[in-house]
Amino acid sequence: MQHTPMDQDAPGADEFVDETVTAEGEGDEIRVTDIVFDCPHCGHNLAIDYRGAGLQINCVACGEPVLVPIPDGMKIDDLDLSSGELLTQLFQTRRLLLKNEQHIAELEETLNSVKTRRTELEKSRMVTLHRCAEVVNLCQTVLKLQNETVLTVNRMIALIAEEQQR
């Protein structure tokens, strides 16, 4: 990755561009406030000071003119703010982004647990249905046995009656 630092006190857009173009090779560290993106022409990874947002620079790798993207939530008007104010805004935006990402992760977790619970409930319902069918079968068996018992007892009574009449 190539870092293209800018003069911290540079006030004008022209200076940003000049600094960016001529600063090639100076330092490799990417600051948290840098805008990091890939050159649309050659794909070279570029890290530009946040104050370069929306400006046209020349890619340090292929030399083609490249428009520095403006990060989400950053307004060009913000560039008129002091770097301290801007940093505060940037960090607030990042914190918000992080919070939103965490919230999304939480929602996905909830969704997954709801899906799991639903599957469990469906399984448990199937088990209940099977058990109900089993209990109905048992009841029918009891009724059948009762009928047979009644028939058998009646036959026994008839046999006894026959014996008594002899």
Of residues 59, 61, 62, 79, the one with CA closest to residue 70: 79
With CB under 5 A as the contact rule, the residue among 26, 27, 31, 41 that binds Zn ion is: 41
- One-letter identity of residue 126: M
* Minimum gap (Å) between residue 108 Cβ and Zn ion: 37
Neighbour-count burial for 56-68, b at 16+ CB within 10 Å, e otherwise:
ebbbbbeeeebeb
Q: 30: buried, middle or exposed (CB in 10 Å: 19+, 13-18, 0-12)? A: middle
With CB under 5 A as the contact rule, the residue among 48, 55, 59, 68 that binds Zn ion is: 59
- One-letter identity of residue 1: M
* Minimum gap (Å) between residue 40 Cβ and Zn ion: 8
Of residues 20, 23, 40, 29, the one with CA closest to residue 1: 29
With CB under 5 A as the contact rule, the residue among 27, 45, 62, 92 that binds Zn ion is: 62
Of residues 159, 144, 4, 128, the one with CA closest to residue 66: 4
* Minimum gap (Å) between residue 25 Cβ and Zn ion: 15
With CB under 5 A as the contact rule, the residue among 6, 39, 79, 90 that binds Zn ion is: 39
Q: Which is nearer to Zn ion, 3 or 79 (CB)?
A: 3
User: Which residues face 45 on adjacent strands?
Assistant: 38
| Contact region with Zn ion (CB under 5 A), list: 8-16, 26-34, 43-51, 153-161 | 43-51
By the rule CB under 5 A, 56 interacts with Zn ion: no
By the rule CB under 5 A, 36 interacts with Zn ion: no
Binding site for Zn ion (CB under 5 A): 39, 41-42, 44, 59, 61-62
